[in-house]
Structure 1
């Protein structure tokens, strides 16, 4: 219990020494962690890592089994499944020309990908401003340190000056400590969305270029 209290006191001491910039960075760190966990949860719910059913549906469609393709994705709410259902429905809609069916499929794909990208701009913003806040805190701290040096003149204690400088540098380190995981998470999430987009494009193309001739293209 005493070690935990010591750790809390040390963290509080760092925050006090770092000033307002460090407090802002600490708040950003909490937001970053919450955003990353929320985004993982959302991608799981969207089925970003599940594509077997959609792939099976496309394979059935390409083999000429439209009913089997419909059954494979029936009731599924993953990003890929939604796109596959929309593409097959558009392909089978006799009121739509081939061009219109493709446009409708593209509209659905864009909407699903937009849902998958929610939150990424916030991570990008954090990865950009966290090191800048750290640099700002360092600059402000260095200004204070050199103002103190100017005031004391030749009587300045080098140890006190060094202490002021390392305290100022805390914000730079903290800003980088927040920006690095935010940037890594952003890159990872973007790669997941890019993979989903590639699958969507592949599935839509196969649905429109292969499979049962369910209607005449107008």
Structure 2
């Protein structure tokens, strides 16, 4: 079995060496191997797989711009909303907090609204129920944010696979160029196939590695944003609970 594997590897190495030599000879003799010195030329040589990689790059760029403008503490918990919520919480005004939560169009509003609704439907103040409501809503928000960032990781996984698929197509073109006419190998066809294989491989790796790096960057940024959001909402709820319970005790007295 080991001898069979050794023979197979030897044959593969021989074929690869012959293809590389033929491609180099074609480039040296006639200059038929395509020169890839522009993006347009790379797209032509790489074939339709390059268009898929270009589309993945465009999607990745759109996601990056979208994250930059939307994945900020000022968007998830706007300063104006936090100021109004602070006033309502310090006053212990449940009605005002409910109104803010329903009218606000941000993550902090959804969390505070979940807490206010839980307090409103409870006959007695139940801290555990309020905490569970806040954690559930916060978990849904965090899950949605993570799902967005996950798209970058998907691109990082798919792009190299598309590039390797283009590699296979290029190698198939090279093998097709090994067909002979009166015993002569067509080196120019082999050179074009090798160029296609290399271009798609490099392009797929560039897109994939870039997406992976950006995924790591936005993952760290998202962790910080979620922590800031939790801190802000926890502070507001502590203020509200203290003022709300104080008002309830004052009414009893």
**TM-score under structure 2 normalisation?**
0.60
Structural mapping, 1:57-206, within 5 Å: 79-80=107-108, 83=111, 87=115, 95=123, 96-151=125-180, 155-156=184-185, 158=187, 161-202=190-231
Is the CA contact 1:25–1:130 (under 8 Å) kept in the aligned structure 2? yes
Is the CA contact 1:132–1:175 (under 8 Å) kept in the aligned structure 2? yes
Distance 2:53 2:223 in 1: 30
Distance 1:166 1:178 in 2: 18
Residue 6 of structure 2 corresponds to none
Give 5+ residue unaligned stretches, structure 1.
Answer: 1-8
Q: Shift of the alpha carbon at 1:163?
A: 4.2
Q: Shift of the alpha carbon at 1:24?
A: 0.9
Q: Which moved more, 1:106-115 or 1:28-37?
A: 106-115
Residue 14 of structure 1 corresponds to 42
Distance 1:153 1:192 in 2: 64
Query: 1:204–1:31: structure 2 CA closer, same or farther, 3 Å change rule?
Result: closer
Is 1:23 aligned to 2:51, yes or no?
yes
Distance 2:233 2:217 in 1: 25
Larger Rg: 2
Residue 36 of structure 1 corresponds to 64
Distance 1:156 1:49 in 2: 68
Q: Shift of the alpha carbon at 1:177?
A: 1.6
Query: 1:17–1:54: structure 2 CA closer, same or farther, 3 Å change rule?
Result: same
Distance 2:153 2:77 in 1: 22
Distance 1:212 1:181 in 2: 48
Q: Shift of the alpha carbon at 1:126?
A: 1.1
**TM-score under structure 1 normalisation?**
0.68
RMSD across aligned positions (CA)? 4.0
Is 1:212 aligned to 2:242, yes or no?
yes
Distance 1:102 1:46 in 2: 24
Is the CA contact 1:127–1:183 (under 8 Å) kept in the aligned structure 2? yes
Query: 1:206–1:45: structure 2 CA closer, same or farther, 3 Å change rule?
Result: closer
Q: Shift of the alpha carbon at 1:166?
A: 2.3
Distance 1:43 1:108 in 2: 18
